[in-house]
C-alpha cells in the first residue's frame, strides 16, 4: 500500500466526490492509498486544512509557510512551535527557498529568515522539516548547514536538483522525495537521482493538486496518483512495485515517527 508523503488536499478539487474527503477515500480504495501527509502552505489557510482532515486517522498534517507566500502572516518560531504541538502536526513546513520568482532583496532576506525560523522550530519540537527548494541550491544547503538542520532531520520534497545537491542533503541526514516529475520524459536529472538514492532514504509524493504524473500529466493531480510515481521508481531502480511501496512506506514511518 502506498503513502503520499506530500500533498495539499485542501487545494485538491474534490467536487467529483461531493467535496467530501471520506467519499474521495472510499472511491479510490482500489489505488491502495494507505496514508497521506497534508502539508501547510500558508498561515491563514492552515486552520481550514487542519479541520478538513481532522476526522481521518490516515491523514497527517504539517504546519509551515511556503517561501513564496508574501501576503499573509509570517509566524514566529514560538507560533510555529505552539501550533505544531497543539495540533499534533508531524512536521514543520513546507518551508525553504524559492528564487524562481524572487523579487527584491527584501524578499530574499524574508525567505532566508523564514527558513531559519522553521528550522529552529523543527529542532525545538523534535519534528522533521519539509524543505522546498527551487533555483536556490547553494543557499538551501548553506542555511541547512549553518542552522544544523540535521538535528531535526527532514526531507527535500519534490526534488528537482542534481545528484550533487542530493548527496549533500543525504550527508546531513535528510531524505529525498520524488513527485510526478520523475515520470516526465525530459526529467533525466531527477531520474538519475532516483536511481542513486539509497533504499532507506527516499520517499514518494504527489504534491497534488500540482504536477500530475504521467499518464495523468496536464490534469488535476490527486494523492492516489502516487501509485504512478511508485511505478516509475520501480522501473528506474529495477525492482518490483511492491518493494517500492514497502520501502517508501517504511522510510515515511521512520522519518515521521508514525
pLDDT of residue 111: 95
Q: Measured on CA atoms in the order 69, 71, 75, 76, is the torsion positive or negative?
A: positive
The residues pairing with 28 across neighbouring beta strands, listed in sequence order, are none
pLDDT along the chain (258 residues), means of 10: 97 97 97 98 98 97 96 96 98 97 83 98 98 97 98 98 98 98 98 98 98 96 98 98 98 96
Which among 143, 152, 156, 148 is positioned nearest to 190, based on CA atoms? 156
| Grid coordinates belonging to 232 | 516509475
**All cell numbers assigned to 253:** 514511518
Q: What is the CATH number of domain 2-255?
A: 3.20.20.140
44, 217 contact by CB (below 8 A)? no
C-alpha cell at 140: 538551501
pTM equals 0.97
What per-residue string of b and e applies to 7-35 under the rule 16 or more CB within 10 Å gives b?
bbbbbbebeebeeebeebbeebeeeebeb
Do the Cβ atoms of 12 and 223 come closer than 8 Å? Answer: yes
pLDDT of residue 46: 98
40 in Cβ contact with 94 (< 8 Å): yes
List phi, psi (to 5°) of 95. Answer: -140, -175
Q: How many CA atoms lie within 13 A of 17 on its CB side?
A: 15
Residue 146's Cβ-count burial label (10 Å; 0-12, 13-18, 19+) is exposed
Amino acid at each position: 500500500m502506498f503513502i503520499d508523503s506530500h500533498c495539499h488536499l485542501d487545494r485538491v478539487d474534490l467536487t467529483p466526490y461531493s467535496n467530501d474527503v471520506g467519499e474521495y477515500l472510499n472511491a479510490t480504495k482500489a489505488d491502495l492509498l494507505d496514508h497521506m501527509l497534508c502539508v501547510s502552505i500558508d498561515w491563514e489557510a492552515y486552520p481550514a486544512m487542519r479541520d478538513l482532515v481532522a476526522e481521518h486517522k490516515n491523514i497527517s498534517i504539517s504546519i509551515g509557510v511556503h517561501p513564496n507566500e508574501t501576503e499573509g502572516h509570517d509566524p514566529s518560531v514560538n507560533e510555529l512551535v505552539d501550533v505544531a504541538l497543539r495540533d499534533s502536526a508531524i512536521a514543520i513546513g513546507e518551508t525553504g527557498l524559492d528564487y524562481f520568482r524572487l523579487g527584491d532583496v527584501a524578499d530574499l532576506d524574508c525567505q532566508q529568515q523564514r527558513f531559519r525560523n522553521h528550522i529552529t522550530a523543527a529542532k525545538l519540537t523534535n519534528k522533521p522539516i519539509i524543505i522546498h527548494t527551487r533555483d536556490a541550491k547553494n543557499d538551501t544547503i548553506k542555511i541547512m548547514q549553518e542552522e544544523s538542520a540535521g538535528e531535526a532531520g527532514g526531507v527535500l520534497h519534490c526534488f528537482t536538483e542534481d545528484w550533487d545537491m542530493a548527496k549533500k542533503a543525504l550527508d546531513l541526514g535528510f531524505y529525498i522525495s520524488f513527485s510526478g516529475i520523475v515520470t516526465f520524459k525530459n526529467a533525466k536529472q531527477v531520474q538519475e537521482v532516483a536511481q542513486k538514492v539509497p533504499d532507506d532514504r527516499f520517499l514518494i509524493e504527489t504534491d497534488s493538486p500540482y504536477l500530475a504524473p504521467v499518464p495523468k500529466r496536464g490534469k488535476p493531480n490527486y494523492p492516489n496518483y502516487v501509485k504512478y510515481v511508485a511505478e516509475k521508481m520501480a522501473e528506474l531502480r529495477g525492482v518490483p512495485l511492491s518493494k517500492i511501496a514497502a520501502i517508501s512506506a517504511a522510510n515515511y514511518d521512520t522519518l515521521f515517527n508514525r
